[in-house]
């Protein structure tokens, strides 16, 4: 069942019950899984994510005042954003919406709206549920206020909201893929220029997300510490970002570096190289090479960047033992959440069932496994005369 089939009717029913009548628009934005290129985005490097067929939806209509009144089915609560007096209320789901309003307010006069939101992107799993909510909110504001939608600019606006309002120093990848994803393709993103190139998945393959049932909080984690170490390493090499350090240049001076800084920089420099090679392998339909690079990426994240954990290592190891698996790695910022595997499509269901069963037996945790399709980025549609037509 697709996200639209799962959550679309629910947000429409709740909107009618809560506000009376139907909404004017439904905005949606997908979560994402990153095939390779972890912790490279804020180093101006390359990433290779795909938008997934799990998303956040907002059913909405305009208000006469300058308020956003939004009910979340996921959290069972209603929040109000005063557009003329925005105040941070703490770590709460509404801050992603309010942050987008704050970032947009610097460019245009905003209009109020009321809505209902729900999503089926697992929260805290490293699949960018926050970016999906941000881009769905941006799509909602663009519909109500009538400003033109430009994916790159909206991705930057949402990133600004998360950096400056929410307080997470994320790079651009999550927002960019949620804004600009292409159905059936991964997207190679140059995080410096924001140029994107759609890359097809190899024929006969499927992408499978492996949720370890462990969670992490980015603001309170070592994410910001890792980012600071990368900036220090760029300073060591006297370049704007680690993207400007080749593998050969790193190796030539690695022995001069502090051991921890050396490991962090080695991951980023080699991961950027792996990402570009993986994109070429995808274009060539070489699933085996993509899988090998994914395996290398996980080892680097585990040993050099030190953002994996036992459960992620366990599910990656179990996935690799299945004969249909080309390769697997942790995905997302780390410290918990999900892994991703590239597998033979004809064995994807058996792979999913086997990995879930073996992981549960090994850890006592109940894994959730999703065979995913690559979906389109954020959209908004006008609701037809009857909600069931959406």
Q: Tell me, what's the pLDDT at 334?
A: 85
Specify whether 346 is catalytic: no
**Same structural domain, 22 and 140:** yes
What's the pLDDT score for residue 219? 42
For every one of its 390 residues, what pLDDT tens digit does the chain have, with 9 covering 90 and above?
Answer: 444 557 889 999 999 999 999 999 999 999 999 999 999 999 999 999 999 999 999 999 999 999 999 999 999 999 999 999 999 877 689 999 999 999 999 889 999 999 999 999 988 777 889 999 999 999 999 999 999 999 999 999 999 999 999 988 788 999 999 999 999 999 999 999 999 999 999 999 999 999 999 986 554 568 788 999 999 999 999 999 999 999 999 999 999 999 999 999 999 999 999 999 999 999 999 999 999 999 999 999 999 999 999 999 999 999 999 999 999 999 988 888 899 999 999 999 999 999 999 999 999 999 999 999 999 999 999 996 444 333
Do 230 and 185 share a domain, yes or no? no
CATH number, domain containing residue 99 = 3.30.230.10
Say how many domains are in the chain. Answer: 2
pLDDT at 164: 93
Same-domain pairing of 178 and 206: no
**Beta strand pairing status for 77-82 and 67-72?**
antiparallel
**CA pair distance 196, 54, nearest whole angstrom:** 21
Same domain, yes or no: 191 and 223: no
Distance CA 194, CA 76 (A): 37
In the structure encoding, which two tokens stand for residue 230, read together?
């990368």
pLDDT at 222: 81
| 192 lies in the same domain as 129 | yes
Pairing of strands 113-119, 67-72: parallel
- Do 104 and 143 have their domain in common? yes
Shared-domain flag, residues 349 and 384: no
Q: Give the residue carrying structure tokens 């049932």.
A: 213
Counting every residue written for the chain, the total comes to: 390
Rounded CA separation 155/284 (Å): 29
115 with 14, same domain?
A: yes
Residue from 174, 273, 295, 303 carrying the catalytic annotation? 174
In the prediction, which pLDDT does 234 show? 98
Do 56 and 132 form a contact (C-beta atoms < 8 A)?
yes
**Same structural domain for residues 109 and 225?**
no
CA distance 7 to 22: 16
User: What's the confidence (pLDDT) of residue 171?
Assistant: 81
Name the region of 332 (left: φ>0; alpha: ψ -120 to 50; beta: rest): left
Residues 215 and 355 in one domain: yes
| Domain containing residue 257: CATH number | 3.30.70.890
Question: To the nearest 10°, the Cα dihedral for 75, 81, 85, 87?
Answer: 20
Q: Are residues 193 and 229 in the same domain?
A: no
Q: Are residues 218 and 275 in the same domain?
A: yes
Q: Which domain holds residue 241?
A: 202-372
The neighbour count for residue 87, using CB atoms within 10 Å, is: 7
């Amino acid at each position: 069942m697709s996200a639209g089939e799962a959550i679309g009717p629910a947000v429409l029913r709740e909107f009618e019950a809560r506000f009376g009548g139907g909404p004017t628009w439904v905005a949606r934005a997908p979560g994402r899984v990153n095939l390779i290129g972890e912790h490279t985005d804020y180093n101006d490097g390359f990433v290779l994510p795909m938008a997934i067929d799990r998303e956040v939806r907002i059913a909405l209509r305009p208000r006469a005042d300058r308020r956003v009144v939004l009910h979340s089915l996921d959290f069972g609560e209603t929040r109000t954003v005063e557009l003329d007096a925005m105040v941070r209320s703490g770590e709460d789901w509404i801050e992603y919406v309010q942050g987008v309003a704050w970032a947009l307010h610097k460019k245009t006069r905003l209009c109020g709206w009321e809505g209902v939101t729900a999503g089926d992107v697992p929260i805290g799993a490293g699949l960018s549920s926050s970016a999906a909510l941000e881009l769905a909110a941006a799509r909602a504001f663009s519909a109500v206020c009538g400003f033109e939608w430009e994916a790159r600019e909206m991705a930057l606006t949402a990133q600004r909201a998360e950096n400056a309002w929410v307080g997470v120093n994320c790079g651009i990848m999550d927002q960019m893929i949620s804004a600009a994803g292409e159905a059936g393709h991964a997207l190679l993103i140059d995080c410096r220029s924001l140029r994107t190139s759609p890359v097809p998945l190899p024929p006969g393959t499927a992408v499978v997300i492996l949720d370890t049932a462990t969670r992490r909080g980015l603001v309170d984690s070592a994410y910001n510490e890792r980012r600071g170490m990368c900036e220090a390493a760029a300073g060591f090499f006297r370049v704007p970002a680690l993207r400007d350090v080749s593998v050969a240049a790193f190796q030539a001076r690695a022995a001069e570096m502090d051991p921890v800084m050396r490991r962090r920089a080695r991951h980023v420099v080699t991961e950027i190289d792996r990402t570009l090679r993986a994109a070429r392998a995808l274009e060539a339909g070489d699933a085996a090479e993509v899988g090998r690079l994914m395996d290398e990426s996980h080892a680097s994240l585990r040993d050099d960047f030190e953002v994996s954990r036992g459960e992620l290592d366990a599910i990656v190891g179990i996935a690799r033992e299945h004969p249909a698996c080309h390769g697997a790695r942790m995905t997302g910022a780390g410290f918990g959440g999900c892994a991703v595997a590239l597998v033979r499509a004809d064995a994807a269901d058996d792979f999913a069932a086997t990995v879930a069963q073996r992981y549960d037996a090994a850890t006592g945790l109940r894994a959730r496994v999703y065979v995913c399709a690559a979906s389109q980025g954020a959209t908004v549609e006008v609701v037809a005369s009857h909600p069931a037509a959406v």
